[in-house]
Structure 1
Amino acid sequence: MKKRSSTYGIPFLALATLLLLGMGAKAQVLNKPTPADNPNLAGNSAWTAACASASFNEYFVNFTWNPPLVASNNEFILELSDANGYFSNPVELARVSDKNTTFDFEFQFALPTDIRGENFKFRVRSTYPAKTSPASDAFSMYFIDYNSPLLISENGSGSIPAGGQISLCGGGSVTLKPHNIPNASSYLYNWYRSGTLLAEKSESITVSDPGMYYVELDYGSVCSGSANTLSNTIEITTGTSTGIAITGSSAVQICPGDTQVLQANITGMGYKYTWYKNNTVVSGPTVEGSSYTVNANTAGFEGSYAVEISGTGVCIEKSAPVTVTSAGDFEVTLQNAENIVLLPSQTKTLSVSSTASSPTYQWFKDGAAISGATNNSLVVNTIGEYYVEVTENGGPCSSAPKSSAITTMVSPDSFELVVDFVGTYASCENTDATLSLTTINAVSDNGTKTDVTADLQASFTYQWKWNGTNISGETAKTITVSDQAKNGTYQLSGTVGAFNAVSNNLDLKLASNQNLVITSNGTVYCDGGDAIVLESSIDLSSETFTWKKDGTVVNSSSASLTVGQPGVYQLIITSNDCPIVSNQVTITPFDASLLVLDKSSDLVIIEGETGTITASGADSYEWYDAGNNLISTDNYYGFQTEGQYLLVANFGTCTVSKVITVSYRDMFAIPNVITANGDGINDLWVLPNTYSRDPNVLVTIFNERGEQVFSQAGYENNWPQSTTTFNKQSMIFYYKITRGGKSLKQGTITVIK
C-alpha cells in the first residue's frame, strides 16, 4: 500500500454576511455612419456617390451613438475600407476628440486621390472604450484625376484620320488607342461601338467590325459621365482590297555593302504607306512613301518586310511579306578554339570549317601570316596566338575575308588541380560523398591561369591523399568515401611529363549511420513522485556527449539523466567531429484533471441503498474510509454509509487524492412557514438531515431589517427558542445556509403566531 504524505479534512466555516445584488452597466452602442448633406452647397440632400476631383473634394457623413458616456480622452475615428468593402487595412479619413458628449454629429472628410471603386464602406471606431461600429452601405467612390476629353487614333499614333474614318479590307483589323493621356495603362476604360458598351477595359482595342467607336475613362457607374472624358469618334468601315504588294521576287539576296529598294505596286494616289520588318514598324505612315531601302551595311538588316496602305477611298491593307537575306554571308568555325597547353616536344593540330562555297585559307601566328599555311588545318609546335582568315571565292558577291576565333598556345610554368564535391554535400549530414577533379589550370610564370581540363585531363596520372597520406588504389580523378572513420582532409595530386601538381584541400565530415535512441521510465513529471530517468541505447562510457533540455545543454557527464523539470529532452554524441542526434522525449507536467469520476465527489444516497462511484484515467486506485483504512483497490466503490472517504489515484510516479463526501438524501424540503403558537405542532423550523447537526454547516437567520437574530453551526432544529418573542401576528425572516463559506441554500421563513 502506498503511504500518503498528508491527512485530509474539511475546514470550519467562517461567519457569513448578507449579500446585496447590484444592477449591471449598459455598454455604448456605435451606429453605422450614413452620408450627410454638405452644408456648404445649395440644397439639402445627402450624397449617394463620391466623385471627387482637385476642384471639389468635401464630403460629410452622419454618425450617432448611444450612452453611457465614453472616456474624456476618447477619440472617434472615421475609417474607409478597400474597394471590395474589407477593413483589413483601413484608411483613416477623419478623427475628432471633442464629440465625447455629442451623440449625433457629422464627420467632414476629403477623398484620397488613389480611390477608385464601386464598393467602398465606412465605419467609426472609438478609442476609449475600444469599439467599432457596423460598416455602412457600399458606395461608388472615385477621385477623378483626369477629366479632359480623350483623343483616340490608330495605335495611339496621334494621327486622327481625315473625317474620322478608317476603311478596312475584309478580314483586316485596326488597333485604336488614346494618345493624349499620361499613365494611360493605370486606368480602366469604357469602349463603345455605335452606343453599345463593349467588354474591353484596357487602354487599346483591336477592331474589325464596322461601327462608330469611342471611349471614356471608367470612373464607375455614377462618376464616369460627370468626368467629361468622352473621346472623339472613329468610324470603321469595310472596303474592297486594292491588291497592295511589293514588286519583284518574294525572296531577295543582298551582297555585303549593297542596298535594295523595296517598291509598292500602287503609287501616285496620295495614300499613306507604313513599312514593317518582322511585323514591327520601321517607317511611316508616310504620304506617298511607297518605297523602302534596305541597307546591307546595317547590322541585322535581314528579315521579313511588308507594306501597309491606307487613305481616303481605300481600306487598310497589308501586303504579303518579302524575305531579305545576305548573299555573301558565310560562317567560320575554328575547331579546338579553347586555349591549348603545349608541352615540350608536343605538337597540336588546329583545323577550321566554313560554310563558304569556295573558300581559301590563310593562318596567322601572333598577328603575322604564316608562310605556306593555306590549308584548312595547321600543325603547331610553338606557343603563340593562332587564327585563320577565310575568303569566299564563289557565289554572286565578292566579300572581305572573315577571321576565326583566336586560340592561344601556352607553355605552362606549373599546373593547378581543383577538386570539389560531386552533387549536394553538407558537412555532418551526408553518410557518403564523392570528390572529383573539376578543373586543370595551366599557370604561367606571371600567374595567369588557363583552363586546360579538356585537353590534358586524360594525360595526367593521379593519386588521392587523406590527411597527407596516399590512399592505396585511389588513382582515378574521382573518389567516393562512405566510412565516417575516414573523415578528414582530402587532396588530389597529379603528374604529367615533368610537372607535378596538387589540388586544393577538401575537408570531409560524414554523418554516422548509428541509430541513437533514448528511453525513459515515464513521461509525466510531478513534484514528490518517483524520479524519471533517461537512458541511451549506446554505451556512453567512451563517448563525448551532451544531454539537452529544450535545446540547452543540461549535462555532459552522466550516462543517464534524471529529469528535474518538464521539457523536451535529447542526447547528442560527437563522433568523428559530427553529431549523432537521438530522438526527442517529451516530459509533460502532471495534470490532475486526468482523474475522472463518473459522479460528483459529493454523493447523496438513500439510506439503506448503495451509491457507486467509478474512477478512470489512472494506472491504479486506492479507496480509504474516514479512519484511513484501505477498503478497496478497484477502480470503483459502492458506498452505503454517510461519511467522508478518500480516493488515491496513481499515475506512474504521480498521485492524485480526491475526497468523497457521502450523505443521505432527505425526504422533505426546507419549510418556509412555521406556527410558533406553542401547540407542539410546527412550532420549530426543522431542516433536513443534509443541513442539520453538521458542525461544518452554518445556519444564519436575519430579521426583515437585515439584522442577524440567530446563528448556529451544527443546527439542532431549535429555532425559534422559547425565549424568542414576536411582536406581530405574521413576521418574515431570511435564512442562509453555508458550508465552508459556500452558500448552500437561502430563502424566507414566515412565522405565524
Structure 2
Amino acid sequence: MLKPTYLTHFFYGICFCLAIIAQRANAQVVIGAPNLGFSQACASESFNTYNATFIFSPESALDASNQFTIEMSDADGDFADPTVIHTTAAGSVTVSPATISFSIPETTAGENYRIRIKSSAPIATSSKSVPFAAYYKIQDSPFTINNLVSTGAYCSGGSYLLSIDNPGNGTNDSPLQYPSLTYKWYKETGPTTSDFVADGPTLAVNTEGTYFVRTNYGTCTSNSFSNRVTISEAVSGEANATIVSSLGNPYCPEQGLTTLSTIGGISYQWYKDGNIIPDATSQMYLTDESGTFSVQVDLGECVASGSIDLVSELFDSSIDVPEYNEMSAEDSLWVTVTTTALNPEFIWYLNGNIIASATEASFEATEFGDYTVSITQTTGCAATVEYGFTIEEELDLFPDVEAIPNLISPNGDSINDTWIIPTAYVSGTDTEVIIMNNQGKIVLQTKDYLNNWPENDLKLTSINQVYYYIITTSDNETKKGSITVVK
C-alpha cells in the first residue's frame, strides 16, 4: 500500500473545492407568489405605501449580493414590459418569509394589475400575484364644467357641448392639467343614482337631463367630480340662458372683478340695465358694477336669453359738506358722514396726517387745510371709501376801504385780484356801478356790485389795459375815474 504523499493531499483538496463550487453553481432558489396586504391600491400624494409578503427557499441559496425586485404589470396584467417599483438593498433580505413595501407610479390606472418578485443572485422569478385595482389619484378634488353654469340648452335636432373647464374658475383644480387622467360622464337617474354615458373630456348632449363627469379612478372612491348641469331642449325656438357670477351674488368688489358666465353658444351679446355693452360678445363678461345684466346667446337654429340682478356688497355712504369750504379763523366746520357699512371704522386726516382723536362719523374741523375721511366696513366684505374736502380762510368780500382803487392785478394770487370799492357803493346800497373799456363799451352795469370784477379772463397782453368807471349813488352823487389792469 502506497503511503499518501504531499501531492496526493493537494490533489484531494483541489477536488473538494471544485465540488463545493459546483454545488454553489447549481444552487437554485424558489420564490412563492407574492401575497398582497391590500385588496386595491388607491394611492394619492398623502398615501402611497403598500406591502407584499413572499416566501423563498432555501435561504442558504442566496448570495450575499442578492437583491429582490418587485415588478408591476400593465393594467391588463401583462408582464411583457414590466415596471420596477422597488428594489431591495444588496443582502438586506435573507430570511423567509419576507415583507417588502412599495409605491405605485403616478400614471397607474386600471383594474387588473399584478406584481411578481425577482431575485438577482441566484436569478429567479416568482409567479404573478392575484389581480388588483390600482389608481394614483393625482387630482382628488371637485372641479367645474360649463364655467359653473348650471344649465344649458340645445335647439331641436342639435346638441349641447359640455366640457371640463381648463384651467377652471377661481381655485378650481382642473384635472385637464394632468394628461394621464381619463374621464367618465354620467346622467342622473335619481337623487343618488346615475347611468354611465360616455368617456372623454367633453360630451355632446342631445337628450334632456342632468349630467356630470368623474375622473376615472375605477373602483377607487374619490372626490374628483364636477358640478351638475341640467340640459334642456329649446321650446318654441327660445331657451333660458342662466348667468352665473364667479364671486357670487351679492359679491365683494374688493376681491376684484367678477366673471359673468352663460351657457355655450355660437355668439353672444351682453347688456346692462337694458343697454347694449359694446364689444361684450364673449361667453364671459368681467365687471365690478351692480345692475341688471342680461345676455342673448345664438344657439344656431334658436336663441337663448337670460338676466341676473347683480348686487355689489360695497356699502352706500355720503358726506354733508362740499369739496371746497371757507370759514373765518374764529369759526369751525361740523362735518358728518353717513353710511350703511357694517361695523364701520372711521379715520380722519388733516394734510395727510391721522387725527388721533377723530374716530366717529362726525368731526368738528377748526383748522384750515386738506381733510380726508375713510370709512371701512369691518364685517362681511372688507371695503373702504374715502371722501376729501378742503377748508380755506374766508375772504372778506366787502372790506372797509377808504378810496376807490385805480389799479388791479387779476393774476390769481388772491392779492388785488378784483376791483374792491368802499362799502358805501357795494351791494345793498342801491348804487349803480358802470365799467367801460377804452372804446366806451360797457363791460359791467349793476346795482348789486359784489366786489367781484373782473369775473372772467380779460385776455391780458404785455400792455396794460385801461377801463373807466362811473359810480352813481341813490342820491345821484357821481364818482368817475379809470382802472388800470396790469398783468
Q: TM-score, normalised on structure 1?
A: 0.28
Higher RCO (CA 8 Å, separation ≥ 6 residues): 2
The structure with the largest alpha-carbon Rg is: 1
More strand by share: 1
More helix by share: 2
